[in-house]
Amino acid sequence: MINQDMIIFGAQLPTLVPIFLATMLLMWLLDKQCVKWRTYERVWHPALFRTSLFISIFTLIALLIY
Q: What is the DSSP string of 19-64?
A: HHHHHHHHHHHHHHHHHHTT-TTTSS-HHHHHHHHHHHHHHHHHHH
pTM: 0.82
Residue 3, pLDDT > 70, answer no
Residue 63, pLDDT > 80, answer yes
Distance from C-alpha of 60 to C-alpha of 57, rounded to nearest angstrom: 5
Mean pLDDT score, 43-64: 96
Q: How many Å separate Cα 15 from the centre of its chain?
A: 13
- Please give the DSSP secondary-structure letter assigned to residue 9: T
